[in-house]
Amino acid sequence: MTIRSKRLVKLGFLAATLFAQTQVQAASNELNLYSARHYSTDEAMYENFTKKTGITIKRLELGDEALLERLRSEGKRSPADVILLVDAARIAKAQSEGLFQATGSKALKNAIPDQYQGPSDMWYAFSSRSRVIVYNKDKVDSKLVQNYEDLAKPELKGKVCTRSGSHPYMLSLLSGLIANIGEAKATQWAEGMVANMARAPKGGDTDQIKAVASGECGVALTNSYYFVRMLRSDKPEDKDVVSKVGFVWPNQASFGTHMNVSAGAVAANAPNKEAAVMFLEYLATPEAQQYFANGNNEWPTAKGVNVTNQAIKSLGNFKADITPARVLADNTALSQKIMDRVGYK
């Protein structure tokens, strides 16, 4: 080989090395986020992360099930670095299918309480939402609806409304009841709920609140942030709904109000795991935790974070169920079997 040829080969090698380094650097400054969260207020949180780190976020937003199907179809070719899901039942499903990998982050283990950590360092919950009872002030005595179990009592026949029994929010609630009162009593509760329905289960949580206000239902279940969203609204129609609806923190004399979670994980085939872990660690910081609280009326999960959202604070203190989110996840399959068995549509 001539000297000129050797120089060309060397230059070619250096160019290829430089290109590879540039590609690695570009990849390290970019994060692919697959999110089932669809809240516009999260935008500010993502922008703040980019300002702090220089890492840009490419986001794909889909419903939970559509998101999981996308990950399944992409397999090892998936560009996803971080996965955000909004329910313990769905988180369990994703982990069981091998869609996550361990974070290896001591910062996350220290920042997030044990009950909000997934098994084997696979996922962490960054916000929680309480499942509360709302009732029509003119049609239902609040004394009759202080506990989840009360909704299954004969006194409320023809008055109960919920969303579909197969929806993850309902499955996670039932999973919590299984953990707290046992499978047999939880099954009886599901049977009683079916017997007490004012109408077939349908709609989302906001629909349940509106149905209670209109008198179509006497009582319903909803995630707390839907109620707080209406409480903070300036719309006359929302103010009218809130004025007709009472709010209950269930089971304050027993195991406490059921808490579901919004959680994040590093994708199993993340091209940029380092950035993924950085992003999850950022979500556990007090600054990011306030975005969850103020932006979407959720409860922060990280230790030592105080809620500054005045609408949330106006609801008062309450006893929260501390059943670990991973237990809710583990009970999901049994919850679905119970719902199917009792005909909870």
> In CATH, which of 3.40.190.10, 3.40.30.10, 1.10.3720.10, 1.10.275.10 is domain 129-258+320-342?
3.40.190.10
pLDDT band (50, 70, 90) for residue 15: very low
Q: Sort strands 124-136 and 259-267 into parallel, antiparallel or unpaired.
A: antiparallel
Domain ranges for the chain: 3-128+261-308, 129-258+320-342
- Tell me which residue of 266, 221, 206 sits closest to 85, measured CA to CA: 266
SS3 116: helix
* DSSP 3-state percent helix, strand, coil across the chain (nearest 5): 55, 15, 30
pLDDT at 122 over 60: yes
Round to whole Å and give the CA distance between 41 and 120: 31
Two domains, one topology: 3-128+261-308 and 129-258+320-342 = yes
pLDDT at 24 over 60: no
- Tell me which residue of 61, 28, 98, 27 sits closest to 268, measured CA to CA: 98
Round the CA-based radius of gyration of the chain to a whole number and report it. 23
Domain 3-128+261-308 matching CATH 3.90.480.20: the answer reads no
- The arithmetic mean of pLDDT across residues 330-343, rounded, is 95
Residue 5 is predicted with a pLDDT of 43
Residue 184 is predicted with a pLDDT of 98
Q: Sort strands 30-35 and 82-85 into parallel, antiparallel or unpaired.
A: parallel
Calculate what percentage of the chain has a pLDDT beyond 90. 78
pLDDT at 87 over 50: yes
pLDDT at 200 over 60: yes
